[in-house]
A and B are shown apart, each in its own frame.
Chain A
């Protein structure tokens, strides 16, 4: 059962443009959503999160949008930089008290 879905396995974007990574979830009990970034040979690192009481959270070049009615969230990176090339995982939890449920990840390639 895929409670958290990232339907795009890969995405290629030109440097300076916007990267949009999408994530859908099925479990309506999820109320906290996170994005992790993973470089090769490293573990995932926390990037940004959003609570279900908000619909947007911004941190520098990274913005996460949450559409609860559609059970959809997205990560926007603008402007994209070559160093952003990594695998991005969407994750969700119920009030942070249940283990994170991850998606399969989207590999972002930012081309100079």
Chain B
């Protein structure tokens, strides 16, 4: 069964450093998403991406965040200058059509900012 792949599974970084989280969505999917879950909190929407541009973003997704689809397969989330509160599990998701119904999630990247 096709799946969304995320790398790395764990990332530890120092506060102020840049990190790039990588995702390979399912190959024929057109809509891509990043969500995150801070420990003990809800899963929060960060950004959606379609047709090589951001279609929607949340308040969390400020200027420190950016997304890119550098080639036909990868979808990346960059955090320019990490803060302690960025520590969370980051999930990438994709879907063929625009509806959220059956988002396919990756297994996540656990980001720890020290």
The interface of chain A, by Cβ under 8 A from chain B, is 2, 4, 32, 34, 36, 41-46, 49, 89, 91, 93, 96-105
Contacts and interface: CB of A to CB of B under 8 A. Distances in A.
11 contacts: A34-B100, A34-B101, A41-B107, A42-B107, A43-B106, A44-B103, A45-B105, A49-B101, A96-B101, A97-B99, A100-B100
B91 interface: yes
A97 B91 CA distance: 19
B57 to A, nearest CB: 9
B44 A43 contact: no
B98 interface: yes
B105 A104 contact: no
Contact of B45 (A42, A100, A103): A100
Contact of B41 (A49, A96, A104): A104
Contacts of B58: 99
A93 to B, nearest CB: 5
Interface string B71-114: 00000000000000000000101000011111111111000000
B40 interface: yes
Contact of A44 (B9, B43, B44, B48): B43
Given A99-B33, A100-B45, A102-B43, A46 B102 contact: yes
A99 B45 contact: yes
Contacts of A91: 43, 100
Nearest to A100: B100
Nearest to B43: A102
A99 B56 contact: yes
A97 B106 CA distance: 21
Given A99-B48, A99-B56, A46 B42 contact: no
Interface in B33-49: 33, 35, 40-45, 48
A70 B5 CA distance: 39
A96 B42 contact: no
Contacts of A100: 45, 100, 103
B4 interface: yes
Contacts of A97: 98-100
